[in-house]
Amino acid sequence: MANPRGFLEVTQRELPSRRPVEVRIGDWREVYGPRDPEVLKRQAGRCMDCGVPFCHHGCPLGNLIPEWNDLVRKGDGRAAIERLHETNNFPEFTGKLCPAPCESACVLGINQPSVTIKQVEASIIEQAWANGWVTPLPPSRVTDKTVAVVGSGPAGLAAAQQLTRVGHTVAVFERDDRIGGLLRYGIPDFKMEKHHLDQRLAQMQAEGTRFRAGVNIGVDITWPELIERYDAVVVATGAPKPRDLTIPGRDLLGIHYAMDYLVPSNRVQAGDSVEGQITAEGKHVVILGGGDTGADCIGTAHRQHAASVTTLAIGYQPPSERPESQPWPMDPTVFEVQSAHEEGGERVYLASTVEFVGNAAGEVTGLKVAETEYRDGGRFPKPGTEHVIPADLVLLSLGYTGPDYTDLQSQIGVGLDGRGNLKRSDDYTTSVPGVFVAGDAGRGASLIVWAIAEGRAVASEVDRFLQGDTDLPAPVRASDQPISI
Amino acid sequence: MTMKGPFERHSAFPAPTGLYNAAYERDACGLAMVATLRGTPGHDIVDGALRALRNLEHRGAVGSDAGTGDGAGIITQIPDRFFREEVSFELPEKGRYAVGIAFLSADSAERIAEKRSVEGIAREEDLEVLGWRVVPTREEEIGDLARETMPGFEQLFVRSHSRGEDGLGLGGIALDRLTFRLRKRAERELGIYFPSLSARTIVYKGMVTTLQLEPFYPDLSDERFESTLALVHSRYSTNTFPSWPLAQPFRRLAHNGEINTIRANRNWMHARQSQLSSPVLGDLRPLFPIVTEGASDSASLDEVVELLELAGRSLPHAIMMLVPEAWENQLDMDPAVKDFYEYHSRMMEPWDGPAALVFTDGSLVGATLDRNGLRPGRFVITSDGLIILGSEIGVLDVDPATVVRKGRLRPGSMLLADTVEGRIIEAEELKSSLANMEPWGEWVREAEIHLEKLPEREHIIATPQSINRRQRTFGYTEEEVRILLTPMGQTGTEPLGAMGSDTPIAAISERPRLLFDYFAQQFAQVTNPPLDSIREQVVTSMTTGLGPEGNLLEAGRDHARQVVLEFPVIDNDELAKIGHLRHPNASAASHTLSGLYAVNRGHEGLRERLDELCREADAAVDKGVRFLILSDRHSTVDLAPIPSLLLLSAVHHHLIRGHKRMRVGLVVEAGDVREVHHAALLIGFGASALNPYLAMETVEQLARNGEIVGVEPEKAVRNVITALGKGVLKIMSKMGISTVASYAGAQAFEAVGLSQELIDEYFTGTTSILGGVGLEIIEEENRQRHELAYPAEINAKPHERLPVGGEYQWRREGPPHLFNPETVFLLQHATRQKRFDIFRKYTKTVDDQTEELMTLRGLFRLRTEDRTPISIDEVEPVESILKRFNSGAMSMGAISPEMHETLAIAMNRIGGLSNTGEGGESPERLLNPETRSRIKQVASGRFGVTSLYLTHATDIQIKMAQGAKPGEGGQLPANKVYPWIARLRHGTPGVGLISPPPHHDIYSIEDLKQLIFDLKRANPAANIHVKLVSQSGIGAVAAGVAKAKADVILVSGHDGGTGASPLNSLKHAGTPWEIGLAEAQQTLMLNNMRGRVSLHVDGQMKTGRDVIIAALLGAEGYGFATAPMVVSGCILMRVCHLDTCPVGVATQNPELRKRFTGQPEFVQTFFEYIAEEVREYLAQLGFRSLDEAIGQAHLLDVDKAVTHWKSEGLELEPILSTEALRPGVAIRQAEGQDHELAEHFDNQLRELVKPALETGQPVSVDLPIRNTERAVGTMLGNDVTLGYGEDGLASGTIDITLRGTAGQSLGAFMPGGITLRLFGDANDYVGKGLSGGQIVIKPAEGSVYAPERNVIAGNVIGYGATSGTMFISGVVGERFLVRNSGATAVVEGAGDHALEYMTGGLAVILGETGRNVAAGMSGGTAYIYRLRSERVNREALSSGEIELSPLDSSGREIVRVLLIRHLEETDSPLAARLIELGDAALDDFVMVTPRDYKAVLNTRDEALAQGLDPDGEEVWSRILEVTGG
């Protein structure tokens, strides 16, 4: 039983400290220093063990948060990792990368700062790895069924691990040269060092999951061929298509999609050399879009010694407190200071870019920016407010529009739904028997925690398809959405 | 045509229709006994008894047909002179013939045939028929319903053919043994009932009122009708259906109260029949069953008493055997008497009351109370040998100068007179003669087996893997381990929960559920009281004997040869000892039945295995095995365990059917048992002991690996045993059962969702109302659990130790909850933002149960196709619907002042009713029309129930039970008794407050009638509500409550919210309101009582659809509690009991209260939206108002679209039955109750004291009074409070002298300014709720007896008094000053349980007390002269909660002053003597104070001295420190 008065005794959140900015921007290692176990116990002890734990609902995985909070409070890390792994295959990923809708839903958050759930999660798995409590769990018997998982991001990996463990032979295909999808090349090391990924992949490999990097399904192997070769196929190829900004000057040199900038940088961190790497060194960098990818660009640019870094966001600066329109327990948009924001640069709001300005060489030199005006339910540049911001490197991090679907559609007729995602049913099936869609490919760009949840759920459906029945858990349906009005 | 049984003829019980079942009918009553010791019979005795009966009229009841009473009767000696002169044939000598009335057919032709048949049996039984006499009756005297079922009355006279040694015909008991056979056979073979047929006594009884008995039977008025003794009885039944045979007295006794344990007693008597034999009674088989079908509990008791008496035990012996006193925990009892009781406890479980019994065998006459003494019995003995005993004093007038003794029956004690020898037999004499009859003690000590004396066995420790595998096999969840077992292992107590239950019941749950979950605990409400097993532990016993029983009709050493278990839950080592018991010849005395079946063979396999096990049990018994162990151990992948309850009950009932049950003891070794409810079920279905081995191994492991902290594994196991055992005791107490011996086999459960076929085969005799699943589904559920233990691939869920659960706290993987994150969010947002669109989303989410069934009502469909919809504009407006809404009864104490006031304001604004809950209301709110709660609740704790509180009520609600924990009391822990709560409740800050399980003025239905009477007089303008909880039989209770003149009956569902409740009650007691409401509606209509009352309902009401369904099922008012709390910010934290509610809703913590965000507007919006939805449904159904919809159950049917694997077998039609709908029978409230206010005694007082009321000038009055005048001073008190407010009039303004015997509730709720001065006697409940007035009672003028040695007033004096004074010159009954919180009282002696639950005020007791003084006393002070410390509540004394000390100087002063006042007011000779003794007397007084109370007062005094605010935070934390709160 949790300490019923814990939340009254410790009223504030305590987060682990980030390494000093001047130190951390000199390297690429993770920004967070070690966590103090006593602080974590104290924070976990603030959990109220609610009759209706909204955190557990707010988490798409259905993490058993009150239960492992209490185990951490009592110092039983061994039991805590078991309870955590019960619902989450990769807590080290979510513990570092998830924006934690659970904390937004935390009941304590109604009138007090919420429990630092994410930190508790991260510490549980860290301790578990450190103590060798995470071991491969190969199946006790194998079936005669094979499954191809296309895409090695969190959804694909989760599906693969679940299906491997119940005895199916699973091959994970990745068109990139290394396994991991966005986890590998989309996330800078200062947010998650890649050895975390590698040690998890090693566990999966030891369990029997097969990894096939550098194979582009649809091209190297056609979809019909793949379907022929496997009893089931899981499409977990993500929603990588970036949103563009088609305004005058878009074809100037020096304007890139954020991923085109981040991926080479992350490759270099992985020890590769990348020819023609876009780097921010010595440049005035302007980033369009104030989301997580934008923040990754900021951190990367600083580490590359940019001359200046400016982020332009078209809308209002979000409020620092939860707005009334997004009541508890919704996951609200609030003004956040991520680690990258601490490291420097300017964040400009209500900035509508109307034109990229370039020089004769066709290189971008600046952006013509107007103040945003909200009108008729839309956002428009306010006439007469234009001014030019200098820039030698412009990064577009305006979100993602959906999956690559051309080969799928042309080869097996799996096309898009009305929202631009791969068309599937509530149970992740497509029009082609045996082909399933999971993760961002079906949901649209979302959170890593949704990807893992979908990966787990699709595995359950695939198992049922292959065996007629399943013991695998299915935490979400394809149509499930976060709580909202 | 099948023959009607003896209790079915001359009765008009409807056949079971809808949910009504006559088996639930209850009754209670008044009784009296008149006898003389002068040795000669006379008509004066009969006449006196009949007069006494007439003076008990108010204890009986009349039904819808005002002329028909519930029954009355008389038993006397045979009036030999009368008969001899009346009959035409010659009678043998007095005592050598037997006579009795036969209830024959009213049809004369049939009657002739019947008489011939009776005569035939008589010949076979060695009897000669002397003749028949037609009994004169006057049928014009009785009611229509009674007349319609009236039998033909003829008296049969017989003598024996055989001659005795004296050459004469047999006489007395010898003749009665023959007539017994005749009577029994006439009942069995002909269905003919004889009220009596005896050479010693005769009974006249019928469906008459107390006033009609004598006119109906003119024989009784005949001067020649003589006797030395007479017993009379007046019955109060819960129904209005006449039954002539069920009127009392029966053959040996009359009974007031109820036999709570009747089901167990009947079952065991049935099982014992095979063992019965008696040389004097002959072949008993033609007479079986001993206990007749269709009889009342009293009738069954009488049948067994009669059997024992005829077989050779004396009548007092038989009674002491069946209704023993609470001997188990009595320290000061003669060991030989204890041996007597212990020996007999091996042959017969107690027939537990509440019971007052009067009995006679024709020469001995006596009366007794059961161990709890919950029925009144007062007696007077005069110098000329007259003994008068009755439920009340004053039933018969006697000259005070002739009185030599006035007494009362005490718990377990007996008043016995021998009318032949002409003397009183004192209890000591009787007991010692019985104790020395046989060497009981020697037999017991030689034959009993005690486990601790057997060789120790090596303890086996299971491995974690084995424990986990088996936990999965038995369906354990993480939640159960965390929430149930860990706390039990840690603390030895069952954990608490809050906020009710909102998950589906087992019957409609999608998930596999344990068989245990299909059973709901029954509990006592209204017709009998629950007990307080903690504070009144002295009357409880957990000891049972395990092993065969001998012939009940004999006695010998072998009868005691049993294993004695002090606790019904045993550990693994104890079980091993039983398993290794040997016969003297070294062969095994125990046999283990392995309860496993081949799981791949499904339900067929299960059924066959059960049959096989039953055969194995037979064989073992035949071989002489004495102990059967039913085990579910050692399951494998192929062999699954049979649910232990099924295994046990199947074998138990099989052995009963095969007449072998009494030859073995049954022990269950059960892996599936892990909560209190499970243990209770196994004991309730016949196990003598159970070994929940897996629960124990689980906590053992939890302790070993540190999840249970600081407790050794062995201790953790003991803790589980304690928690389960104490929990079972508490469940027993809910039914009012004190001993596990009479709970075992009592089957005090009802099934919800099990098919009748399954019940009949394996759970014979259990009620199952809605049909449901059979063995096939039970097996299916079992198999699903079993498969979890053996998954195809263990790595599908490699990290899952056990399934997560989610029954108590919401979990995604768990069962659905009506309130979940989605619905809580939608509801809060909709009402706060005034968004009806979102509100619809909320109600749709709650109502839409097509995917996951949550409630029974979810299965119903509105038959809109039968109706033409109308425009919503034609439907009554929202405003008029709002008036029907109530908010739940939640006390300030349970919820925060902010929450409480928010609800009150909102309800006042919409015209609905909010409810104070138990716990008073501050005068500021009470008098403010904006913030007051219009319903004032009166619960068992009577917190803050003052004249002011009642006077300013719109409605008054008597809380008989609460949905979340029916049959239980409550406790407000010390740390929640903040100063403002203490003020409201008249308690002490920082000192916990107890609400007892029963109302101590309601132990039966006629008591409830009395409380309604009192409250109605405390505020004649208020409607009186009675709150009941849904369970089978609630219909009968509701009809009884309607007869008791309640204005409103509230049916609460089992799932309602609460601030704190043991988890087993939260989940397993009571039934959904859909069932209870329908049963109440149908039964009220069958009785034609529906029109007199309004029916309300509550329990997890959440949407407009819920309201419309409730309306169609018959409800007129609708209560909501959880939903408006959620609207106000509640997020179902379920920690109300911890005072840590983080949103300020259910907490008193000032810091947390600041977080409250609710607004009355939100709550108003909620109710407006609900009303709007109701309008929409009404429009769809074509109704213009809710009134038109009420009771139209035919517009519901079972939604065919909503079916799943379990609900398919449910038969919901009985809920929707409209069979009770008949022309001329009201379907909803049509008229009010006639409260007969104009006839109340106080009307004359009001006239006489007019000047005082109008101008405050002093007035004196002097009037005679008698026992039928009840609640005298209460209505006058209401006038005073209305006129003069809380403090009433100046002291002594109205001075009323009364002479005679006052009826019950003298001076109830009387405010300041009134003095009642009674010369005479008073009955029960004097000064109930006294609110400032003064009551003085002293013996009638001319009395010669010593007041301090005689009883002058009854039980439960000063219950819930808040202020005022009482001076009583004499001894009073049980529970003196129970829950007093402020009054001062002086008496000269008191019965058991004095000062119980007292929280304030002052008591001075100048004489002897009974047992269990100061149990649960948490405040106030008592000064007791020569207190015997062994009489003080043992637990409280040894723990130091209660302190005894000599008087300090201020104590001496207080006593001195009160003694002087007592003398002045009462002329008490005792007071005079003590005053004369002076200091010497004061030295002999003992001060009784609760430790915490004293400490808190000291702390506050110190704080005041330091200039601190005693109610401030600083002092509060000091208080909590001293009380450890």
| 8 Å CB contact between B195 and B73 | yes
pLDDT value at B11 more than 90: no
Encode burial over B762-788: b for 16+ CB neighbours within 10 A, e otherwise.
bbbebbbbbbbbbbbbbbebbbebbbb
Query: Are B482 and A105 in contact (CB < 8 Å)?
Result: no
The beta-carbon neighbor of B821 closest among A54, A110, A475 is: A54
Q: What is the SS3 assignment for B1455-1520?
A: HHHHHHHHHHHHCCHHHHHHHHHCHHHHHCEEEEEEHHHHHHHHHHHHHHHCCCCCCCHHHHHHHH
> What is the number of other CB atoms lying within 10 angstroms of the CB of residue A23?
12
How does pLDDT run across B1462-1484, given as a tens digit for each residue?
Answer: 999 999 999 999 999 999 999 99
Most A CBs within 10 Å, among B486, B702, B812, to test the A interface: B812
Assign B240 a pLDDT band (cuts: 50, 70, 90). low
Distance from CA of B675 to the nearest CA of A (A): 17
- Name, in order, each residue with C-beta under 8 angstroms of B1490's C-beta and a sequence gap of 6 or more: B991, B1414, B1417, B1418, B1419, B1420, B1441, B1442, B1443
| 8 Å CB contact between B857 and B1186 | no
Name the more confident of B458 and B715: B715
Q: What pLDDT shows up at residue A33?
A: 86
Mean pLDDT of chain A: 96
pLDDT value at A1 more than 60: no
Of residues B958, B1007, B967, B999, the one with CA closest to residue B375: B1007
Distance from CA of B532 to the nearest CA of A (A): 28
DSSP conformation letters of A12-71:
S---PPBPPHHHHTTS-S-SB----HHHHHHHHTT----SS-HHHHHSTT---HHHHHHH
- Which range, of A412-416, B14-18, B1013-1017, B1081-1085, averages the lowest pLDDT? B14-18
Q: What is the CA radius of gyration of chain B?
A: 32
| Dist CA B391 CA B257 (whole Å) | 11
Query: Are B797 and A86 in contact (CB < 8 Å)?
Result: yes
- Name, in order, each residue with C-beta under 8 angstroms of B724's C-beta and a sequence gap of 6 or more: B488, B569, B673, B675, B676, B679, B692, B695
pLDDT value at B704 more than 60: yes
The stretch B374-397 carries a mean pLDDT of 94
Q: Which chain B residues in 1119-1138 lie under 8 Å from chain A, judged by CB atoms?
A: 1129, 1131-1135, 1138
The beta-carbon neighbor of A62 closest among B796, B813, B1138 is: B813
How does pLDDT run across B96-140, given as a tens digit for each residue?
Answer: 999 999 999 999 999 999 999 999 999 999 999 999 999 999 999
Which own/partner pairs from B112-116 qualify as long-range (CB within 8 Å, at least 24 positions apart)? B114/B190, B114/B192, B115/B154
The stretch B505-526 carries a mean pLDDT of 93
Q: Which chain B residues in 459-478 lie under 8 Å from chain A, judged by CB atoms?
A: 478
Of residues B1227, B571, B1183, B1144, the one with CA closest to residue B902: B1144
| Dist CA B41 CA B82 (whole Å) | 12
Assign B1346 a pLDDT band (cuts: 50, 70, 90). very high
Query: Are B794 and A140 in contact (CB < 8 Å)?
Result: yes
Query: Are B796 and A165 in contact (CB < 8 Å)?
Result: yes
- Check if B801 contacts A (Cβ < 8 Å): yes
The beta-carbon neighbor of B1134 closest among A51, A57, A140 is: A51
| Residue B659 DSSP SS3 | coil
| 8 Å CB contact between B559 and B443 | yes
* Residues of chain A contacting B838 with CB distance shorter than 8 Å: 485
Q: Enter the DSSP assignment of B1311.
A: B
- Which range, of A434-443, B541-550, B1326-1335, averages the lowest pLDDT? B541-550
| Dist CA B340 CA B440 (whole Å) | 6
The beta-carbon neighbor of A139 closest among B793, B809, B1131 is: B793
Q: What pLDDT shows up at residue B1?
A: 42
Assign B850 a pLDDT band (cuts: 50, 70, 90). low
Q: What pLDDT shows up at residue B383?
A: 95
- Check if B811 contacts A (Cβ < 8 Å): yes
**Bridge pairing between strands B1485-1490 and B1442-1446:** antiparallel
Nearest CA in chain B to A166: B796
Q: What pLDDT shows up at residue A485?
A: 81
pLDDT value at B4 more than 90: no
How does pLDDT run across A90-112, given as a tens digit for each residue?
Answer: 999 999 999 999 999 999 999 99
Query: Are B1131 and A141 in contact (CB < 8 Å)?
Result: no
Q: What pLDDT shows up at residue B68?
A: 73
Which own/partner pairs from B290-295 qualify as long-range (CB within 8 Å, at least 24 positions apart)? B291/B265, B291/B266, B292/B5, B292/B6, B292/B7, B292/B187, B293/B5, B293/B7, B294/B5, B294/B6, B294/B7, B294/B8, B295/B7, B295/B246
Tallying the residues shown for chain A, one arrives at: 485
pTM of the predicted model as reported, rounded to 2 decimal places: 0.95
Query: Are A57 and B791 in contact (CB < 8 Å)?
Result: no
Of residues B309, B273, B314, the one with CA closest to residue B290: B273
| 8 Å CB contact between B237 and B27 | yes
The stretch B219-225 carries a mean pLDDT of 97
- Check if B798 contacts A (Cβ < 8 Å): yes
* Token output for A27: 């390297």
The beta-carbon neighbor of A4 closest among B798, B811, B1140 is: B1140
Mean pLDDT of chain B: 93
pLDDT value at A215 more than 80: yes
Distance from CA of A142 to the nearest CA of B (A): 9
Query: Are A64 and B1138 in contact (CB < 8 Å)?
Result: no
| Dist CA A483 CA A52 (whole Å) | 14
* Residues of chain A contacting B810 with CB distance shorter than 8 Å: 51-53, 56-57
Q: Which spans in B628-675 are helix H? A: 644-657
Q: What pLDDT shows up at residue B537?
A: 86
- Check if B825 contacts A (Cβ < 8 Å): yes
* Residues of chain B contacting A468 with CB distance shorter than 8 Å: none
Q: What pLDDT shows up at residue B969?
A: 84
* Residues of chain A contacting B824 with CB distance shorter than 8 Å: 52
| Dist CA B539 CA B739 (whole Å) | 8
Assign B65 a pLDDT band (cuts: 50, 70, 90). low
Nearest CA in chain B to A108: B1142
* Token output for B85: 């002169």
- Which range, of A143-157, A345-359, B825-839, B1216-1230, averages the lowest pLDDT? B1216-1230
Distance from CA of B1118 to the nearest CA of A (A): 26
How does pLDDT run across B957-1015, given as a tens digit for each residue?
Answer: 999 988 888 888 888 888 889 999 999 999 999 998 889 999 999 998 889 999 999 99
The stretch B1346-1351 carries a mean pLDDT of 96
Q: What pLDDT shows up at residue B145?
A: 85
Of residues B1407, B1439, B1410, the one with CA closest to residue B1423: B1407
Q: What pLDDT shows up at residue B964?
A: 81
Most B CBs within 10 Å, among A46, A52, A141, to test the B interface: A52
Percentages (nearest 5) of helix, strand, coil residues in chain A: 35, 15, 50
Distance from CA of A1 to the nearest CA of B (A): 7
Q: Which chain B residues in 428-457 lie under 8 Å from chain A, judged by CB atoms?
A: none
**What are the residue numbers of the active site of B?**
29
* Residues of chain A contacting B794 with CB distance shorter than 8 Å: 140
Distance from CA of B823 to the nearest CA of A (A): 11
Q: What pLDDT shows up at residue B510?
A: 87
The stretch B626-630 carries a mean pLDDT of 97
ipTM score: 0.95
How does pLDDT run across B675-691, given as a tens digit for each residue?
Answer: 999 999 999 999 999 99
The stretch A8-37 carries a mean pLDDT of 93
Of residues A40, A42, A44, the one with CA closest to residue A55: A44
* Residues of chain A contacting B1152 with CB distance shorter than 8 Å: 8
Distance from CA of A54 to the nearest CA of B (A): 6
Encode burial over A223-238: b for 16+ CB neighbours within 10 A, e otherwise.
beebbeebbbbbbbbb
Distance from CA of A273 to the nearest CA of B (A): 41
Query: Are B798 and A137 in contact (CB < 8 Å)?
Result: yes
Sign of CA dihedral B601, B607, B609, B612: negative
Query: Are A112 and B792 in contact (CB < 8 Å)?
Result: no
| Dist CA B27 CA B1006 (whole Å) | 9
Q: What pLDDT shows up at residue B584?
A: 84
How does pLDDT run across B1391-1433, given as a tens digit for each residue?
Answer: 999 999 999 999 999 999 999 999 999 999 999 999 999 999 9
Distance from CA of B533 to the nearest CA of A (A): 27
Query: Are A1 and B486 in contact (CB < 8 Å)?
Result: yes
pLDDT value at B655 more than 60: yes
How does pLDDT run across B286-321, given as a tens digit for each residue?
Answer: 999 999 988 889 999 999 999 999 999 999 999 999
- Check if B487 contacts A (Cβ < 8 Å): yes
The beta-carbon neighbor of B795 closest among A49, A50, A165 is: A165
Query: Are A8 and B1151 in contact (CB < 8 Å)?
Result: yes
The beta-carbon neighbor of B819 closest among A48, A52, A485 is: A52
Size of interface A-B (CB pairs under 8 A): 130
The angle formed by the CA atoms of residues B776, B780 and B781, to the nearest 5 degrees, is 120
Query: Are B795 and A140 in contact (CB < 8 Å)?
Result: yes
Dihedral angle of Cα B232, B236, B242, B248, to the nearest 10 degrees: -30
Query: Are B1135 and A4 in contact (CB < 8 Å)?
Result: yes
- Name, in order, each residue with C-beta under 8 angstroms of A43's C-beta and a sequence gap of 6 or more: A10, A13, A14, A115, A116, A119, A120
Query: How many angstroms separate the Cα of A370 from the Cα of each of A290, A352, B116, B487, B926?
Result: 17, 5, 116, 64, 64
Nearest CA in chain A to B816: A52
* Token output for B1017: 């007089």
* Residues of chain B contacting A105 with CB distance shorter than 8 Å: 821
Q: What percent of chain B has pLDDT over 90?
A: 82
Query: Are A66 and B809 in contact (CB < 8 Å)?
Result: yes
* Residues of chain B contacting A327 with CB distance shorter than 8 Å: 825, 828-829
How does pLDDT run across A226-276, given as a tens digit for each residue?
Answer: 999 999 999 999 999 999 999 999 999 999 999 999 999 999 999 999 999
Number of H helices, E strands in chain A: 18, 16
